[in-house]
Amino acid sequence: MDAKQQVSKLRSVAQLDVDAVGAYDAAIHGVADDLIRDRLAEFRGDHLRHIADLNLVIHDLGGETVDAKADLRGAVMKGMTAMSSLMGTEATLLAMMGNEEVTNHAYDAVLSLSWSDDIRKLLERNREDERRHLNLIRSAAREHSPLHFEVQEEARA
């Protein structure tokens, strides 16, 4: 893969991270639980770091860096997350779970390509963040599910 193709792939995944930041903004404003809101803010910070790190590599490869501006997909992600947040924490977490699944798949796909060791390590580190995000959001969604509370109540009885 030549430098132009590498830049294209890296810009694509960096743009997805930009879009994720917007979705996290909507989710953070839609969650009342302080612990979950703090964790979502942490994940948002991870995405900002991904953008900065990827932009450094893109620049080094001679490419145009990605602006911190959502594209159409990002606007849709943010809008859907904002609408979900109106239905409460569980709905917000489910929306974020879907968003993180998309991001996980994108990192898996880009890692299937040939990269230098340094770029591969960066992409792998970012993918591990994405996996952690997804796993923790899944766990939080289960805990906020009405079914989870019903099972807990039955166990106490």
Give the 3-state secondary structure of residue 77.
Answer: helix
Residue of 124 and 149 predicted with greater confidence? 124
Average predicted confidence (pLDDT) for the chain = 84
Average pLDDT value for residue range 119-128:
98
| Backbone Cα Rg of the chain | 17
With 0.85 as the threshold, say if the pTM is over it. Answer: no
Q: Are 99 and 79 contacting, i.e. CB atoms less than 8 angstroms apart?
A: no
Q: How many domains does the chain have?
A: 1
Confidence band, pLDDT 50/70/90 cuts, at residue 148: very low
In eight-state DSSP terms, residue 88 is: -
pLDDT score of 149: 36
Confidence band, pLDDT 50/70/90 cuts, at residue 110: very high
Confidence band, pLDDT 50/70/90 cuts, at residue 91: confident
CATH number, domain with residue 132: 1.20.1260.10
Angle at CA 132, nearest 5°, toward 127 and 135?
Answer: 125
Q: Which domain holds residue 125?
A: 3-156
| pLDDT(42) > 70 | yes
Crossing angle (nearest 10°) for helices 3-30 and 34-60: 160
pLDDT above 90 covers what percent of the chain?
54
| pLDDT(99) > 70 | yes
Average pLDDT value for residue range 20-31:
87
pLDDT tens-digit readout, 49-77: 999 999 999 999 999 999 887 655 554 56
Exposure string for 20-47, b = 16+ CB within 10 A, e = fewer: bbbbbbbbbebbeeeebbebbeebbebb
